[in-house]
Amino acid sequence: MGSRLDQVLERIRAGLDGLPEDTVRRVLDYYQEYIAEAIEAGRSEDEILLRLGDPGEIVEEIRAEASLAPEKTPADMPGPGLGGPSPTGTTEKTGDRCGRIYSGARAHAGKILLALGVSPFYLLGIGFYIIAAGGLLSALTAVGLTVAGILEIAPGYTWEKISMAGIGIFAAGCLAITGLLLWVGAAGITSFAHGLWRRDLPRGLERDQETAGRKRGNGEIKKKLVVLATIALLGLGVALPTGLPLRYFLIWNSVKPAFEVYTQTYNAADIREIEVKTLNSMIIAEVGARPGGNEIRIVYEEPDWMRGKFTVSGNRLIFSEESRGRLPFLDFVARHEGMTSVKIEVPPGYRARAMTLASKGGHITIALPAGDIKARTLTGNIRFDGCGSPFALRAVVKNGKIITGGRPLAGGSYTAGTGGEHTVELESNGGTVTIE
Q: Give the x-and-dash track for 225-254 against other proteins (CB under 8 A).
A: ------------------------------
Q: How far is CA 135 from CA 108, 123, 182, 189, 190, in A?
A: 41, 19, 8, 18, 18
The CA distance from 81 to 59, in Å, is 24
Answer for the pair 69, 63: CB distance below 8 angstroms, yes or no: no
Answer for the pair 235, 170: CB distance below 8 angstroms, yes or no: yes
Q: Give yes or no for residue 166 binding other proteins (CB under 8 A).
A: no
Q: Give the x-and-dash track for 173-202 against other proteins (CB under 8 A).
A: -----------------------------x
Q: Give the x-and-dash track for 8-27 against other proteins (CB under 8 A).
A: ------------------xx
Among 67, 119, 209, 265, binds other proteins (CB under 8 A): 209
Among 1, 14, 77, 250, binds other proteins (CB under 8 A): 77
Q: Give yes or no for residue 52 binding other proteins (CB under 8 A).
A: yes
**CB hemisphere CA count around 124 (13 angstroms):** 14
Q: Give yes or no for residue 34 binding other proteins (CB under 8 A).
A: yes
Q: Give yes or no for residue 219 binding other proteins (CB under 8 A).
A: no
Stretch binding other proteins (CB under 8 A), from 34-42, 97-105, 346-354, 371-379: 34-42
Specify which residues 341 forms β-bridges with: 282
Among 5, 16, 24, 62, binds other proteins (CB under 8 A): 62
Strands of the sheet with 295-303, listed across from one edge: 259-267, 295-303, 341-346, 282-287, 364-367, 382-385, 433-435, 402-404, 407-408
User: What is the dihedral sign for C-alpha 111, 112, 113, 114?
Assistant: positive
Q: Give yes or no for residue 29 binding other proteins (CB under 8 A).
A: yes
Dihedral over alpha carbons 32, 34, 36, 41 (to 10 degrees)? -170
Among 6, 22, 47, 57, binds other proteins (CB under 8 A): 57
Task: Return residues touching other proteins (CB under 8 A).
Answer: 26-27, 29-31, 33-34, 36-38, 40-41, 51-55, 57-58, 61-62, 65, 69, 72, 74-75, 77, 79-86, 202, 204-205, 208-209, 212-213, 216
